Amino acid sequence: MLQAPQRTGLSGPTLIRLLTRLTDVDVPESRQSLSDHLSQWLGWTDAIALSAALNTSPPVIAPGARMFGSAEERECARVRTTLADAIASDTAATSAKRIVPGQAPAKKSAAVEQAEADYSNFRQRYLSLQHTMETSVGNLRSRLRGMVAAKNGEMTRLAVVDAIMDRALLPKERALFGAIPKLLQGHFERLRLAEAAALAPVDAPVDASVDAPVDAPAAEADAAPPTDGAAKLEDGNGKAPAPATATPPVTPGAWLDVFRKDMRSVLLAELDVRLQPVEGLLAALRAS
pLDDT average, residue stretch 83-106 = 65
**Average pLDDT value over all residues in the chain:** 77
pLDDT in tens, 25-55: 666 666 777 777 777 888 888 888 888 888 8
pTM: 0.72
pLDDT greater at residue 156 or residue 104: 156
Residue spans per domain, the chain: 37-95+118-199+250-288
Distance between CA atoms of residues 53 and 100, nearest Å: 63
Separation of CA 219 from chain center: 59
Q: Which residues contact 89 (CB under 8 A, 6 or more apart)?
A: none
pLDDT value at residue 111 = 40
Q: What is the secondary structure of 179-240 as a DSSP string?
A: THHHHHHHHHHHHHHHHHHHHSPPPPPP-TTSSSPP-HHHHHHHHSPP-HHHHT-S-TTS-P
pLDDT in tens, 222-264: 445 555 554 444 555 555 555 555 566 677 888 999 999 999 9
Say how many Å lie between the first and final Cα of the chain, rounded.
Answer: 51
Quick one: pLDDT band at residue 10, thresholds 50, 70, 90?
low
Q: Which of these ranges, 7-21, 123-137, 242-256, has the smallest mean pLDDT?
A: 242-256
pLDDT value at residue 114 = 43
Distance between CA atoms of residues 47 and 175, nearest Å: 20
pLDDT in tens, 166-222: 999 999 999 999 999 999 999 999 999 988 888 877 654 545 554 545 454 444 544
